[in-house]
């Protein structure tokens, strides 16, 4: 497995991050993941991606919001949806606290 990410665009208020990941498992097909994340004020996030060569996963998208609660802590809420083809869309909700 190998991956890379970089900021395609970044200024004081906005950031666009791209990510690529490649997998070469010994017992399955090669796979790849590609994704983008747009961040506004490092508080609001919009994400999109695609899983290549997976049996079920395909298009993925989501969004999130972060709220600083102190000098180094913050609470973040995220939502994502992944198209699992025959299973339909799988929805995920996450709440995290970083410190």
Domain boundaries, the chain: 2-98
**Looking at residue 87, what is its pLDDT?**
85
**What average pLDDT does range 49-62 have in this prediction?**
87
DSSP codes joined into one string, 16-73: EEEEEEEE--TTS--EEEEEEEEEETTTEEEEEEEEES-SS--EEEEEEEEEE-SSS-
**Sheet of strand 14-23: strand arrangement:** 2-10, 14-23, 31-40, 44-52, 59-68, 74-83, 89-98
User: pLDDT-based confidence at 54, cuts 50/70/90?
Assistant: confident
pTM for the structure as a whole: 0.84
pLDDT tens figures, 25-37:
888 889 999 999 9
């Amino acid at each position: 497995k190998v991956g890379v990410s970089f900021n395609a665009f970044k200024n004081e208020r906005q950031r666009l991050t791209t990510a690529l990941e490649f997998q070469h498992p010994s017992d399955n097909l090669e796979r790849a993941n590609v994704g983008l994340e747009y961040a506004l004020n490092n508080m609001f996030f919009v994400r999109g991606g695609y899983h290549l060569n997976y049996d079920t996963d395909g298009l993925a998208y989501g969004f999130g919001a972060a709220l600083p609660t102190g000098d180094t802590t913050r609470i973040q809420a995220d939502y994502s949806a992944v198209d699992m083809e025959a299973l339909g869309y799988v929805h995920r909700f996450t709440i995290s606290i970083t410190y």
